[in-house]
Structure 1
């Protein structure tokens, strides 16, 4: 039996720990033994629809339905693909079209549907794709699966849809061996204790940090978990610290933007509104980390008992199953301050004192997890020394073997097992530092300008929606390369206010990077193109800049 399934079965014991869902309206707790029993029942109910090697797609909102469904597919010898869920601003016709492309790409013959996505049944029927009602399977009285179907560690466990910057679908093929290797490494690096720790999460289960880190890990080691949906969080962000307080959460995770939002709201909350003294591991990853936002969160949380050393900045990617590196525990946010000119012109991260000339501040992301290596190379593949900026590569047990694409399978690793992450960065004292995505770097006058610097500067201007500014390249690769800033603001549509906002943003950007944007485009809230997991789609954003 593959190790991840064996671990989940072994840890579904009589201890009473399990999964709590349904907050805030209808909280429901089920032990991991209950979840395992439901998984066996679902697998039994699927019968011949679930066979060795089956690719099963899941589309449901309730984590309480998703958890046993995922385990059921693994018990039955299949692999899981979590389909992206539409957001309130999603065009449902386009979403259905994209979903069908994904199902064809991964060769999924079965979809498990849960509320509120039954509306897709007609589309599936028209295209000859089988589906089953997940809510009905959970309560069915069919005979449970008698014995798990054994598969090898090289068999696919998860086809993780990527959230890249283009609309072209791609799935990372994560094997059972990858999944277990990364799980063991994360448990060790985070010092997780199933009997003591409680995970609290709102992250989407179609994203690797939510699916692997906040569901699979607790389920496999028998650790208590409280799970709500992204919609719950977005409707009321302070639900997150409320649930940490209520359930004495010790472990949580989120992208930087969420810490920025909640930090601002906690700063305005009443004394005694939360008790965050139980938190010991607060992971910050999945997008560029703004040290100022991370610091603002821990500062705001201090009034509610938050230990600032609980902040753990991390580097991860689906191609490594999830986690590549964690910053050292119990040290909190650590920042490397480097000379901006040396970084941009000479690709060196020379340390400087804060307040000395133009400086860049990067969060230190820790050493690679056990079983993983990280190095930095130049464009010719030659390995670079400490504080030299180049292409980050990873290698190890958790690195996945390849992708599924619309054009067929695609390998992720070179002949020596190295995977090019697509990130620019450097190493310092063995810790990883990421400067930005290589494809997004703006090259002007021999300087490498990172979009995140421009975006953070723009978001400092009053009237710009926090986290909703994008710097996009124009005339990339040419001698006249330039960039524009596209942002969201409630001032959109007010001609005079827009004019003032554009001037202020341009001035702030010039102060930050020394170059003026070719254009500043102001859009109403909800206009910036984003992936289903909330990342900016830069190629689509660039199309919004008038030519």
Structure 2
């Protein structure tokens, strides 16, 4: 069997009986803990239930919310030799007709042999039946315990849908070899100890950080894990530190926006309400990192015993299975402050000791994980030196061999094995720094202006919801390029208050980047278009600007 499956099965066999490590789900109302051996037993029975329907190489899709069902289901699919695709889940705000159309497109794209349904999505069985898509209820998936299929390192383990995989879906093909390599790299870089560490997570399992980092890795190495759902977190953000306190969590991960939300709430919490002293590895990734918001979280958490140096800024992407680089452990948030003019006009990251309004501050994201390389090249493909800004590319055993698209398979690497990440950035002291996505850069007067700088400035204005401002390009290529700021605020719908907020945001943006937005659009909370994993949909956001 593959090295990944061999590791997973060996871990399950090791974790039975007294002192065995396992998975806790159902918090906070009905917590249930099963050892990894017990999860594996359920997975073997699920694999037995799949025996007559799934063959090695088939694609199995999963649509469920309960981690207690998902964990053995994905393992059962792997034991059967199938690949797993976690489908994006509809939310209360989702247009179900559009979601159904997009999901059916995804299922056709991956050639899904079977869809496994669990609560609260059981009611969608009729839709699948109408479209002749085979499906089974997870609760009914049971059979004689099955063995482990023989699969090679190049066999597909995961088809990870990329953010925004809707009208034009794309799935990253992650092989068993990719998974094993990235798992080993993360275990080494994070110094994970399966016998002592406890992972606590609410991240969605249809996102790579939730599925790979917070479920697959703990399950494969036999590390204790506590898993709740994104809905649990949204309903009560302080459930996250509560679970860390209750279970002695040592490892957790989230995007920057979640740390901003919880940091504000921790600042208002009563003394002694939480115990965060056990946390040693708090990963911040999946979206641009705002050093100020990250520090606000660690400072608010210090009152509850949080080590201020536990924050680990990271760079990752589904195309590398999950992780590309982790900042050094125990050093906290390290920032590179550079001259704005040199960055925007000469594409050089020139360090400056002056904390001026025009300086640019980027989080250092660490060195590449073992088994991975990161390089920086210009548009002609020429390798650039330290602090020269260009296209980031990655190479290594964890990097996907390709995508599945509606047009068919698509290769990801060049002849030398490099994958273009789509990011602009640079290297300093071997550490990765990301300036922004190439396709989102706003070019005005020969200057490269990164949306994150505009967005951080906008979020500094009172009344703007933290982490909910977007800078979007307008009219690129047909008129002089412009940009607008679209943000969320509770003053939306109050014309005079909106106008005043717009003036304040425009002034703050001018101070920060030296150019004025052509418009400031104020939306109600929840109004910004986002992907199911919480990332901004820039094209849809730009469409909200009048005249565009």
TM-score (norm 2): 0.98
Q: Say if 2:46 and 2:73, in contact at 8 Å, map to a contact too.
A: yes
In structure 2, what is the equivalent of residue 414 of structure 1?
Answer: 414
In structure 2, what is the equivalent of residue 51 of structure 1?
Answer: 55
User: Which among 140, 144, 164 is matched to residue 136 of structure 1?
Assistant: 140
Q: Say if 1:166 and 1:537, in contact at 8 Å, map to a contact too.
A: no
User: Which among 88, 93, 108 is matched to residue 92 of structure 2?
Assistant: 88
Q: Quickly say closer, same or farther: Cα 1:456–1:165, change in 2 above 3 A.
A: farther
| C-alpha distance in structure 2 between counterparts of 1:391 and 1:11, whole Å | 39
| C-alpha distance in structure 1 between counterparts of 2:222 and 2:163, whole Å | 29
In structure 2, what is the equivalent of residue 365 of structure 1?
Answer: 365
Q: How many residues were matched structurally?
A: 543
| C-alpha distance in structure 2 between counterparts of 1:174 and 1:43, whole Å | 21
C-alpha displacement at 1:522, in angstroms? 1.0
Q: Once the two structures are superposed, what CA deviation does each residue of 1:148-171 show, in whole Å capped at 9, x if it has no partner?
A: 111110000000000048742100
Q: Say if 2:51 and 2:80, in contact at 8 Å, map to a contact too.
A: no
Q: In structure 1, list runs of 5 or more residues that go unmatched.
A: none
In structure 1, what is the equivalent of residue 68 of structure 2?
Answer: 64
Q: Once the two structures are superposed, what CA deviation does each residue of 1:356-414 show, in whole Å capped at 9, x if it has no partner?
A: 57211100000000010001000000000000000000000000000001111111101
Q: Say if 2:208 and 2:318, in contact at 8 Å, map to a contact too.
A: yes
C-alpha displacement at 1:354, in angstroms? 3.2
Structure 1 runs (4+) greater than 2 angstroms displaced? 164-167, 354-358
Q: Quickly say closer, same or farther: Cα 1:58–1:223, change in 2 above 3 A.
A: same
Verify: 1:494 aligned to 2:494, yes or no.
yes
User: Which among 100, 107, 124 is matched to residue 103 of structure 1?
Assistant: 107
| C-alpha distance in structure 2 between counterparts of 1:165 and 1:79, whole Å | 18
Q: Say if 2:391 and 2:425, in contact at 8 Å, map to a contact too.
A: yes
The secondary structure found in structure 1 opposite 2:373 is: strand
Residues 216-231 of structure 1 mapped to structure 2, 5 A cutoff: 216-231=216-231
Residues 425-444 of structure 1 mapped to structure 2, 5 A cutoff: 425-444=425-444
Report the more deviating stretch, 162-171 or 514-523: 162-171
Report the more deviating stretch, 88-97 or 231-240: 88-97
Q: Say if 1:282 and 1:310, in contact at 8 Å, map to a contact too.
A: yes
| C-alpha distance in structure 2 between counterparts of 1:479 and 1:489, whole Å | 30
Q: Say if 2:50 and 2:80, in contact at 8 Å, map to a contact too.
A: no
| C-alpha distance in structure 2 between counterparts of 1:421 and 1:28, whole Å | 40
Q: Say if 1:339 and 1:357, in contact at 8 Å, map to a contact too.
A: no
In structure 2, what is the equivalent of residue 38 of structure 1?
Answer: 42
In structure 2, what is the equivalent of residue 528 of structure 1?
Answer: 528
Alignment RMSD, CA only? 1.0
| C-alpha distance in structure 2 between counterparts of 1:511 and 1:167, whole Å | 38
C-alpha displacement at 1:47, in angstroms? 2.1
Q: In structure 2, list runs of 5 or more residues that go unmatched.
A: none
In structure 1, what is the equivalent of residue 279 of structure 2?
Answer: 279
| C-alpha distance in structure 2 between counterparts of 1:193 and 1:496, whole Å | 56
Verify: 1:403 aligned to 2:407, yes or no.
no
Q: Say if 2:528 and 2:536, in contact at 8 Å, map to a contact too.
A: yes
Residues 270-309 of structure 1 mapped to structure 2, 5 A cutoff: 270-309=270-309
Q: Say if 1:165 and 1:536, in contact at 8 Å, map to a contact too.
A: no
Q: Say if 2:54 and 2:113, in contact at 8 Å, map to a contact too.
A: no
Residues 335-484 of structure 1 mapped to structure 2, 5 A cutoff: 335-356=335-356, 358-478=358-478, 480-484=480-484
Q: Quickly say closer, same or farther: Cα 1:77–1:207, change in 2 above 3 A.
A: same
Q: Quickly say closer, same or farther: Cα 1:245–1:354, change in 2 above 3 A.
A: farther
C-alpha displacement at 1:355, in angstroms? 2.4
Residues 139-178 of structure 1 mapped to structure 2, 5 A cutoff: 140=142, 142-145=143-146, 147-164=147-164, 167-178=167-178
C-alpha displacement at 1:77, in angstroms? 0.7
Q: Say if 1:166 and 1:539, in contact at 8 Å, map to a contact too.
A: no
In structure 2, what is the equivalent of residue 205 of structure 1?
Answer: 205
| C-alpha distance in structure 2 between counterparts of 1:349 and 1:96, whole Å | 46
C-alpha displacement at 1:28, in angstroms? 0.4
User: Which among 111, 124, 127 is matched to residue 128 of structure 2?
Assistant: 124
Q: Once the two structures are superposed, what CA deviation does each residue of 1:406-461 show, in whole Å capped at 9, x if it has no partner?
A: 11111110111000000000000000000000000000001100001111111111
C-alpha displacement at 1:463, in angstroms? 1.4
Report the more deviating stretch, 375-384 or 462-471: 462-471
| C-alpha distance in structure 2 between counterparts of 1:164 and 1:260, whole Å | 23
